[in-house]
């Protein structure tokens, strides 16, 4: 085992200590049930009583060495996932926030599974025992040259400044990606996709929804074969060099010289592709 893997395994070995040491518990809002503050004095349970606003919030901070890792995977069906890339970063930093229901007891540890695969780190949020209705959000920072895989439920997924491509899959949450580069496969349910990305030369993008709008912001000189299907909607292309046909929710043709490929599909909504020009040359 090389030094980088030994360092990572050492980090995993003390994970429980990290979870305990990095956990903060806050009880926010809510009535303390003192009669002087309770609006039930007149027998009206429907107005002004803050009992329903009681909630528990816990946070955990985790850190993993990124040396030797080429991929990060995040799986969370219980809350949002936000991943941002940082050039030259040496660690993967995680902030997990749990939002519990009224009267819930704080958790001793974060319900997370950490898997150390060859050159990859997978973090999976597990349903916490005895805490029904809990929501756990993940805010993650990682080196921007790692490939990524995100898997979520009905909560938003967002990615910023990741430069090596990857996959995003959501059951029904909105998907947003900005400052992206590489090959991507993106899929979702009844939601929306908004992506600002640059394809690598000869690269590919596949994005599909059961229903909902898809919007792409691409460099004006993007080169790809385009297939777009918006059943029950429209396909709109602007600011890009496009040769092809767009009619009745179907778009097919060539962007630029057609080196890469872009395939888009959805229903009951529109697909929009917008091109933005490169920076002006010096002296212009």
Which tens digit of pLDDT belongs to each residue from 265-277?
Answer: 999 999 999 999 8
Could you report the per-residue pLDDT of 106-157, keeping only the tens digit for each?
888 899 999 988 899 999 999 888 777 789 999 999 999 999 999 999 999 9
Asked whether residue 177 carries a pLDDT value surpassing 50, the answer given is yes
CA 5 to CA 118: how far, in whole Å? 9
The pLDDT value given to residue 259: 94
Task: Tell whether 20 is covered by a domain.
Answer: yes
Please state the φ and ψ torsions of residue 109, each to the nearest 5 degrees: -140, 160
Instruction: Compute the average pLDDT of residues 184-208.
Output: 96
Between 11 and 161, residue with greater pLDDT: 161
Distances (CA, A) of 180 to 84, 123, 148, 213, 218: 10, 21, 11, 19, 10
Yes or no: say if 275 and 220 are a contact pair by the CB < 8 Å rule.
Answer: yes
Checking if the pLDDT of 86 tops 90, the result is yes
Q: What is the mean pLDDT of residues 161-178?
A: 97
The predicted pLDDT at position 23 comes to: 47
**Residue reference for tokens 């980090």:** 11
User: If you average pLDDT over residues 191-196, what whole number do you get?
Assistant: 98
Q: Is residue 13 located within the same domain as residue 137?
A: yes
How many CA atoms are closer than 13 Å to the CA of 192, on its beta-carbon side?
Answer: 8
Task: Indicate the burial class of 247 (C-beta count within 10 angstroms; 0-12, 13-18, 19 or more).
Answer: exposed
| pLDDT on residue 55 | 76
Same domain, 119 and 16: yes
Cα of 202 vs its chain's centroid, Å? 25
Regarding whether 219 and 99 lie in a shared domain, the answer is no
Backbone angles phi, psi at 243, to 5 degrees: -125, 115
Structure tokens at 39: 């609006």
Residues 122 and 170 in one domain: no
Pairwise pLDDT comparison (8 vs 64), residue with the higher score: 64
Q: How far apart are CA 192 and CA 237, in angstroms?
A: 18
Bridge partner residues of 227 (DSSP):
252, 263
Task: Specify if 35 maps to a domain.
Answer: no
Task: Give the chain's domain count.
Answer: 2
For residue 9, the model assigns a pLDDT of 47
- Over residues 186-211, the mean pLDDT reads 96
Residue 226 near residue 207 (C-beta atoms within 8 A): no
* Same domain (yes/no): 236, 103: no
Q: Provide the pLDDT for residue 31.
A: 39
- What is the Cα Rg of the chain in Å? 23
For residues 186 and 86, membership in a common domain is answered with no
Say if strands 224-231 and 260-267 run parallel, antiparallel, or are unpaired.
Answer: parallel
Band the pLDDT of 101: cuts 50, 70, 90: confident
Q: Output the pLDDT for position 130.
A: 73
Rounded Cα–Cα distance for residues 273 and 239 (Å): 8
Q: What is the pLDDT of residue 54?
A: 56
- pLDDT value at position 44? 41
Single residue among 127, 142, 157 that ends a domain in this structure: 142
The answer to whether residues 124 and 174 belong to one domain is no
Residue 237 lies in a domain: yes
Looking at the domain assignment, is residue 42 inside a domain?
A: no
Does 34 map to a domain? no
CB 120 within 8 A of CB 138: no
Q: Are residues 248 and 137 in the same domain?
A: no
For all residues of the chain together, what is the average pLDDT? 83
Closest Cα to residue 148, out of 120, 125, 114, 170? Answer: 120
Residue-number span of the structural domain to which 216 is assigned: 165-279
Residues 136, 243 share a domain: no
Exposed e or buried b for every residue in 209-241, given b needs 16+ CB within 10 A?
bebbbbbbbbbeebbbbbbbbbeebbbebeebe
Averaged pLDDT for residues 197-225: 96
Examine the pLDDT at 225 and tell me if it is beyond 50.
yes
What's the CA dihedral at 69, 23, 16, 81 to 10 degrees? Answer: -40
Per-residue pLDDT, 98? 93
Question: pLDDT tens across 24-42, in order?
Answer: 544 343 334 443 333 333 3
Residue 38 in any domain: the answer is no
List, in sequence order, every residue forming a beta bridge with 252; answer none if it has no partner: 227, 245
- Looking at residue 102, its pLDDT comes to 61
* Domain-located, residue 45: no
């Amino acid at each position: 085992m090389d030094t980088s893997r030994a360092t990572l395994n050492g980090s995993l070995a003390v994970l429980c200590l990290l979870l305990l040491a990095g956990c903060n518990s806050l009880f926010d809002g809510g009535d303390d049930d003192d009669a002087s503050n309770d609006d039930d004095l007149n027998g009206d349970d429907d107005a002004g009583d803050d009992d329903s606003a009681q909630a528990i919030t816990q946070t955990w901070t985790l850190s993993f060495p990124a040396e030797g890792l080429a991929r990060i995977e995040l799986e969370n069906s219980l809350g949002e996932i936000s991943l941002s890339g940082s050039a030259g970063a040496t660690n993967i930093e995680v902030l997990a926030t749990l939002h519990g229901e009224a009267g819930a007891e704080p958790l001793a540890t974060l319900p997370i599974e950490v898997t150390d695969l060859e050159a990859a780190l997978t973090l999976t949020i597990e349903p916490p025992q005895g805490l029904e209705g809990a929501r756990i959000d993940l805010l993650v920072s990682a080196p921007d040259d790692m490939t990524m895989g995100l898997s979520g439920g009905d909560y938003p997924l967002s990615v910023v400044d990741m430069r090596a491509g990857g996959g995003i899959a959501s059951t029904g949450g909105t998907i947003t990606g900005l400052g992206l580069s590489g090959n991507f496969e993106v899929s979702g349910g009844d939601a929306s996709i908004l992506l600002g990305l640059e394809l690598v030369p000869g690269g590919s993008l596949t994005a599909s929804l059961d229903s909902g709008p898809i919007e792409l912001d691409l460099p004006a000189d993007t080169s790809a074969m385009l297939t777009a299907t918006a059943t029950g909607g429209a396909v709109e292309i602007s600011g890009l060099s496009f040769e092809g046909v767009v009619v009745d929710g179907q778009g097919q043709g060539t962007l630029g010289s057609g080196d890469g490929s872009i395939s888009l599909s959805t229903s009951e909504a529109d697909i929009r592709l917008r091109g933005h020009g490169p920076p002006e040359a010096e002296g212009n």
